[in-house]
Chain A
Amino acid sequence: MDYAAYEPGATAVTSALAIKILIAGGFGVGKTTMVGTISEIRPLHTEELLSERGVGVDDVSGVESKNTTTVALDFGRITIREGLWLYLFGTPGQDRFWFMWDELALGALGAVVLADTRRLQDSFPAVDYFEQRGIPFVVGVNCFDGARRHDPTKVRRALGLTAHVPIVLCDVRDRTSVRDVLTTLVTYAVEGA
């Protein structure tokens, strides 16, 4: 195994590229499952430790004794080739961690907003967030066991989506299904509406 950085005369110029994709949606909609289904590594669960001051608008009532809070973050990876990776980040589900979304979203290729048709309203904040910032997103309607197949037209209307935003019915436990959601997103993000 050779290491370019140690070769005499080698420069530190990198052609390596990591592409960020966000997996958003309401609490319990299947974000972590989706990441786990497609990731080549077991999804990493890490935590960002934040001081209260850094949290700013965080409501810490009831936890006065706590002067730090943690944000759980799950991420997975797909290696396209050496030096080219897709990183999937599950966004924190709680509204109070919006500030964390800004960092996650910065420079992201795009996002998948997972929706559960039984709780479509849980997807509104994510849809609003990406719309307002002009970040390309697709909506993945997670079809749970026993859930009725849903009409994408109705989902589009309920979420107030413009006609060009792709809606994909998916099963976040199924690798092929998740792959199709991601290819839809990548195509949409790069080629546009």
Chain B
Amino acid sequence: MTGQDPGPLIRLYGLTGGRARPQGETFDLVAIVTTVGGPHTLADLIPEYRAVLSVCRRPTPVADVAAHLRLPLNVTRVILGDLRREGFVTIERPRPVAQTIDEHIYREVLDGLRSL
């Protein structure tokens, strides 16, 4: 097991000011996050926030951001809410699954699974 060291976790809850909920509109665990802000103001950000922006230069689901950074999901969400408010990232609004999975994607998913 990894992540047993409580030190970073405590520090991160300090980092989010103890907040357990992100600011603004709620977003899904697998909402796609995309970095949109330029790098010019990044120097002011603390490392975890910069790391999120680095990961999300490729559109990345929220859960994956947490995975990349080894951060708890709710800490990740607070950070993402902050970055969205500051205009550094966009977070996709949830879409009904019926609107997102067309025949083509369905085939891709099935083929992908079968090739595992």
Contact = CB atoms under 8 A, between A and B. Distances in A.
Interface of A: 3-6, 12, 14, 16-20, 38, 41, 44-51, 54, 68, 73, 75, 77-78, 80-87, 89, 103-104, 106-109, 175, 179, 182-183, 186-187, 190
A120 B59 CA distance: 41
The size class of the interface chain B forms with chain A is 35 or more
Contacts of A190: 101, 106
Contact of B61 (A45, A46, A87, A109): A87
A81 B112 contact: yes
A16 B36 contact: no
Contacts of B114: 179, 183
Most buried by B among A14, A18, A19, A83: A18
Contacts, number: 126
B89 to A, nearest CB: 9
A38 B73 CA distance: 21
A44 B30 contact: no
B80 interface: no
Given A12-B34, A107-B96, A18 B63 contact: yes
Contacts of A107: 28, 30, 94-97
Contact of B66 (A4, A46, A49, A89): A46
B105 interface: yes
Contacts of A14: 32, 34, 59, 92
Interface of B: 1, 3, 13, 20, 28-32, 34-36, 38-39, 57-61, 63-64, 66-67, 72-74, 90, 92, 94-97, 100-101, 105-106, 108-110, 112-114, 116
9 contacts: A14-B59, A41-B67, A45-B1, A48-B73, A68-B20, A75-B63, A80-B113, A107-B94, A175-B116
Instruction: Give the dominant DSSP class at B's interface.
Output: mixed
Contact of B29 (A89, A182, A186): A89
A5 B83 CA distance: 15
B112 A78 contact: yes
Q: What are the nearest 7 A-B pairs in CB distance?
A: A80-B112, A18-B30, A3-B57, A18-B61, A16-B59, A14-B59, A12-B36
Given A17-B105, A84-B105, A186-B110, A47 B97 contact: no
